Chain A
């Protein structure tokens, strides 16, 4: 599974495709306090990014890939 849903934490693995977006949305709706672990993620499809941006969940770990991390931090970190 590209997204591993744990009790209160979703771990993004490797490349997360467009088909995961719907499941992710449902899961986030049911767990508003959930945390997101992006560390093992190398790429995620735009649809997933959009879901994350709409829900702005707490991110427990940013991607190890620095370039993806820059993208996601810019998009997901609350604007100061």
Chain B
């Protein structure tokens, strides 16, 4: 999953919970303006975030919620508990949608209708004026009378095709798509959407009102309306029009409407079959209804038929409508078991069809309505239970003959009946305070240390007590514990791991802004964004990297004119690359700019007193270039607001060194510069080399260690107070560790009259430390000193060894 979406989801969850909590808080103190403001802010932010992705359903619900809360905030609506209920339901819906996004990375089309309904139900709570001003289309749709699609405008061929599809068991939907007048500005092309409608049978573009004359026509206001006939399912259509659900009306077409007797194709038996086919399901569910309910339903059905008959006439489909009513009535009479009424009905119907007048049927229905209901009720009372199912056919007919009433009455309220808690596995990630993870890590560190005591114990069991058997068993246990502890340590490291993309993601914007400001053209290339390292490391990496990038843009890359003059492509390239190498993360920042001139650096460094005359002669270009990391050196002629105050690169160096990292620079004049940062993957475990001096053990971080050598005493040169030796062609100053630590003992020599010399790197210089002997290297969990001991600058901390002894870790930079 895309990291942005991931973050959005985890934030949404948090926000939703925050919103729910604030709503609860408001229940106790409905007039607390602070809480209302906070609530509004949460919903507003969540809505804004959702807009980043294409989840229009989510945004729609939140937008309605925001509008509603806006009114509450301005005091236009008083907070009430129904309002809170509605908002809580909206939040549950939002969370359910988020769960779906999390599972499938998209929202299914089925949510669209629910979202629209929820948004409407929220808007219902707003004062009428407000609602009307905001949603003219929607209120119009709400108050529109039961509408039959104007099927007469469908050409013959398309209608017949639709009818054939109906008979083949397909459901045909009528879609009325009335785009918003300003839809062109939102990038909509309604004709295109209409043409792309799934399984389109027929479509036409009309204008709802007559179009104005050319002189008055506004090209950018959409006045058209689209009428479509499709065999796609409701879900497919909802999905297709998901961005404009408030602009479409989808109606399932009753085959009866399509069947026109004039077309001489109408097969009334087939139509009846269609109606009867779908009946049983509804009937079965209804069978348990009480007699009263059924009678009431029958009453409603008959009333609906009366309404249909009273609708204004349209010659083209009058006959079809008459047939539809007749079918319903036939079913009703059959259900009532009233043979007499049934034959009466047939007679009236035949006459109506012959004369083309519906009034006769209307009169008959009005007259015999009471009788029908009474007869039906009597039959129900006589044979309750399974016998009470006959109303099934009528129920079905009622449902299909009243399109557009799918909307529940407003006063009923909407019960989505879904608590957010119902969604299984809604939360896959948890937020944990870093202190808790640190504690866990410390505990694991201690486990590692105490585990290391087991081999000593095994040894003692063997040598001291002579129990080999026990010793072997202890060793076996040790290897098990060792494996588990290693895995635990690895797992906790994984928890703390973060991808460098966390830092990298801000660079595209940074580079763009800076290069704009400087009038340079820069292409940024990011590589290895997935490389992971400890959270602390990643977080402290941000500032140094920004410094380096700014420097590269400011001093490194040239303006397009200069680049062209030098025969380079006008657009400079800045590459930031991350990679893992062993237990270290390497980050390289490369530009193809003008590079660093070592001569200038040397001169500047000399002028500022950073190096003496001897060094000026001695150091090579490579070392000279690395002088940019020395404090107080700036090569830019002009101080800009970006860099050039001489505080850049030494800050970078100290920041990186604080993380036990190293930074170097390589540059080729005129070709470009590469700055390399090397950092440990994790700061938790420090690799140290253990050395011995005057009978004591000390640790030296492996980052400082260059090599270990044995130097014969006669190769040592004494120059005044200091000692030196020539190693691999270089003169290296030597210092005795004992004297550095103030231990009154001289370094020991081994049997071959050699000194043990540990070459360490300290601040770019290599120094040899005379020690008594080298021991093994070990991965240790270093603890900083606390209390009084924190003042000891010679040591960077201490670590517990496997045998329980404490090892002091030397701070090489301080003592050399």
Contact = CB atoms under 8 A, between A and B. Distances in A.
A28 B219 CA distance: 13
Given A29-B214, A53-B207, A75-B205, A43 B192 contact: yes
Contacts of B582: none
Given A49-B191, A49-B224, A54 B205 contact: no
B203 interface: yes
B463 interface: no
Interface of A is mostly: helix
B492 interface: no
B219 A47 contact: yes
Contacts of B206: 75
A41 to B, nearest CB: 12
Interface string A26-52: 001100000000000001111101110
Contacts of A22: 219-220
B212 interface: yes
Contacts of B203: 71, 74
B211 A46 contact: no
Contacts of A18: 184, 189, 220
Contact of A46 (B155, B191, B214): B191
B195 interface: yes
B195 A50 contact: no
A58 interface: no
Interface in B195-248: 195, 203-207, 211-215, 217, 219-220, 222-224
Interface string A12-23: 000000100110
B683 to A, nearest CB: 57
Contacts of B648: none
A37 B138 CA distance: 39
Contacts of B204: 71, 74-75
A55 interface: yes
Given A54-B212, A71-B203, A75-B205, A47 B184 contact: yes
Contacts of B223: 50
Contact of B205 (A29, A55, A67, A74): A74
Contact of B184 (A28, A46, A53): A46
Contacts of B224: 46, 49-50, 53
A59 interface: no
Contacts of A55: 214
Contact of A54 (B189, B195, B214): B214
B179 A25 contact: no
Nearest to A25: B219
Interface in B283-303: none
A44 B195 CA distance: 11
B735 to A, nearest CB: 78
A45 B217 contact: no
B205 A53 contact: yes
A68 B213 CA distance: 25
B219 A46 contact: no
B593 interface: no
A1 B428 CA distance: 53
Nearest to A55: B214
Contacts of A44: 191
Interface in A51-77: 51, 53-55, 67-68, 71, 74-75
B588 interface: no
Contacts of B211: 50, 53-54
Contacts of B65: none
Residue from B194, B206, B217 whose CB has the most chain A CB atoms within 10 Å: B217
A50 B214 contact: no
A76 B190 CA distance: 17
Contact of B214 (A25, A47, A75): A25
Interface of B: 155, 179, 184, 188-192, 194-195, 203-207, 211-215, 217, 219-220, 222-224
Given A46-B190, A50-B222, A74-B155, 11 more contacts: A18-B189, A28-B214, A45-B191, A45-B192, A49-B224, A50-B211, A50-B219, A53-B207, A53-B211, A54-B217, A75-B206
- CB-CB nearest 7 A-B residue pairs: A54-B211, A46-B191, A21-B219, A75-B205, A74-B204, A46-B190, A22-B219
Interface of A: 18, 21-22, 25, 28-29, 43-47, 49-51, 53-55, 67-68, 71, 74-75
17 contacts: A18-B184, A18-B189, A25-B219, A29-B215, A44-B191, A45-B189, A46-B184, A46-B192, A46-B205, A46-B222, A49-B224, A50-B223, A54-B212, A54-B214, A71-B195, A71-B203, A74-B155
